[in-house]
Amino acid sequence: MNTYIKKYQIFATITVLIIAFWAPLVFAGQVQIKYKQGQKPDEIGLRVANNLLSRKDYMLYGKHGLHYAEACTSYSAFRLAGLTGNKELMEKLKKRYGGMIDTDKEKLVSKVQHVDHNVEGILPLEIYMQTGNERFLELGLYLADKQWENPQPDGLTNQTRWWIDDMYMVGMLQIQAYRATGDIKYADRAANQITAYIEKLQQPTGLFYHGPEYHFYWGRGNGWVASSLTEILKSLPNEHPKRPEIMNSYLKMMSTLLKYQTENGMWRQLIDYEYSWAESSCTAMFTYAMITGVKFGWLENEKYQPSVEKAWKALCAHLDREGNLREICVGTGQKDDIEFYLKRPRVVGDLHGQAPMLWCCCELLDTTTVLIPGKNLPAYKGEKVMDIKLTSTAFENDGMIPSKYTCDGDDISPPLKWDSVPDGTVSIALISDDPDAPRGTWVHWVLYNLPPDKKELPEAFPDDETLGNGTQQGVTDFGKTGYGGPCPPSGTHRYYFKIYALDTTIDTATALDKKVLLEKMDGHILAQGELMGKYKRY
């Protein structure tokens, strides 16, 4: 045990009054905060998450489409439930937002292609990463890819409008898609977009103008920037060519923000204007960025730790009993008038502030400092499910698939083998697909109702729709049942073989496609595993 903690515990044991007032030190990476009573991030986080769940109505754009502020809040509420293992919270969140893929789709999923609308994709992507439900993955990727439909000649999204808020709306969605899939194209999009904004909008001070023609350092606008830089740096590969530029921008910004933090721990509505009022949403965003920086080792602990602790205490002091954060600026457009920013209304409990408060809680609770895109998927089903080890004698995980098993060879299925499935398994399902296909994920194999005692599939598995032991095969994107091998039009594609142990059989009279199978599997997955192979045509 840490010597400092030992000394603290001895001191606390002797001083009873201090025990009543202070909680023990809690560690999140290198972030150390001495929490006062009622200031622990798990307690604060639960209050804010329950506050969200207590709201009868969704925050929408008119009648259709979840507002980005609620998407940002709910995404982090799911993350909180996963981090704390709070099954009750997870189920309540799934009940509120599960309709995105069916019953409430028309209401919650926007059809408008706009930077403030597409970002809601971060929520279904997070639900996928917490539950393993691939229907949410498909929705999230649909919104992420729509953001890059018909890009500009310079490669940026056609949603580019040079508002600093957009750095988060674009960057966060794309990096979240990268986390969920491991597909580097999403990380490239995020990095290219964010560096273009850095070059155009970051000033020598390290801060960002609200827009090219609006020379004010608006608090929450810069908060979105700080948060987007942080989110991208958390997941962007160390060897990515854009990483140094993004890191330099982040470090420059953090250094300047440190100078403008007020004595009471807050930051202002206009960051550099000392007569401006203290604003909570930007304070929470800057705090989140600094917590993460200290934890990952980007920021010097001794220099930034006191700022983080001071800001956290100030934020907790601004939270009321119902979990509402006070002193939040309302939604703000751009105007070349300082009075416009200084006279913006202040509200209580607005989700623009609730969201970053939850981000802080999650980052303080999460001790992970290495994120593996496409791998950090707990597949939540009340509690984390066990893994199944899936292997093949034909190729190793992340290895090249021999041409024998592709359209260039015999086009037969590779041999597969898996270890034991958990007690209570009634049937086994298998899906194979290619997420790198140009028109979206291409399904190569759908197989279900395999007997629970089955532990392998031989090479050249039959293509019959129904087999003697009850096994059934679904319809692939080739329009037939049975295995269809890799046949990429160009480049190297990844082919995932995913296996699921289910607590039920799939009741159907006709061959199912992947989408319907996933719907029927939802809530019945006891364990899962995957094997990934690659193929390139020469």
Residues 269, 239 share a domain: yes
Rounded distance, CA 23 to CA 34, Å? 7
Give domain status of residue 128, yes or no.
Answer: yes
Q: Are residues 299 and 343 in the same domain?
A: yes
pTM for this entry: 0.68
Token reading at 428: 């086994």
pLDDT tens, residue by residue, 70-111: 999 999 999 999 999 899 999 999 999 998 988 888 889 998
In eight-state DSSP terms, residue 294 is H
How long, in residues, is the chain? 538
Question: Quick one: 190 and 274 in the same domain?
Answer: yes
83 vs 41, 77, 316, 366, 450, CA distance in Å? 11, 10, 20, 7, 33
The count of structural domains within the chain is 3
Tell me what pLDDT residue 32 has.
64
Q: Residue 45 belongs to a domain with what CATH number?
A: 1.50.10.10
- For 228, residues 6+ apart whose C-beta sits below 8 A from its C-beta are 167, 168, 171, 172, 194
Which residue range is the domain that position 522 belongs to? 385-536
Say yes or no: 226 and 153 in one domain: yes
Residue 380 lies in a domain: no
Looking at the structure, do residues 344 and 424 belong to the same domain, yes or no? no
Nearest-angstrom CA–CA distance, 38 and 17: 16
* Element spanning 229, H or E: helix 219-235
In a shared domain, residues 29 and 64? no
> Could you tell me if 157 and 247 lie in one domain?
yes
The pLDDT tens digits of the residues spanning 361-407 come to 999 988 654 444 544 443 333 333 457 899 999 999 989 999 999 99
Residue 217 phi/psi, 5° resolution? -90, 75
| Averaged pLDDT score across all residues of the chain | 88
The answer on 261 and 241 residing in a single domain is yes
Other CB atoms within 10 A of residue 316 CB: 20
Do the beta carbons of residue 434 and residue 495 sit within 8 Å? yes
Boundary (domain end) residue, out of 305, 335, 365: 365
- Rounded to whole angstroms, the maximal C-alpha distance in the chain is 79
Determine contact, residues 484/411, Cβ cutoff 8 Å.
yes
Are both 135 and 230 inside the same structural domain?
A: yes
16 with 103, same domain: the answer is no
Phi, psi of 143 (to 5 degrees): -70, -35
In-domain check, residue 372: no
Structure tokens at 81: 């439930």
Tell me the pLDDT of the chain (538 aa) as tens digits. Answer: 333 333 333 333 332 233 233 333 333 445 667 777 888 999 999 999 999 999 999 999 888 899 999 999 999 999 999 999 899 999 999 999 998 988 888 889 998 999 999 999 999 999 999 988 889 999 999 999 999 999 999 999 999 999 999 999 999 999 999 999 889 999 999 999 999 999 999 999 999 998 888 899 999 999 999 999 999 999 998 889 999 999 999 999 999 999 999 999 999 999 999 999 999 999 999 999 999 999 888 999 889 999 999 999 999 999 999 999 999 999 888 888 999 999 999 999 999 999 999 999 999 988 654 444 544 443 333 333 457 899 999 999 989 999 999 999 999 999 999 988 888 899 999 999 998 887 778 999 999 999 999 999 999 999 888 787 889 999 999 999 999 999 998 888 999 999 999 999 998 888 999 989 988 988 788 888 889 999 998 7
Q: Are residues 520 and 441 in the same domain?
A: yes
Same domain, 334 and 212: yes
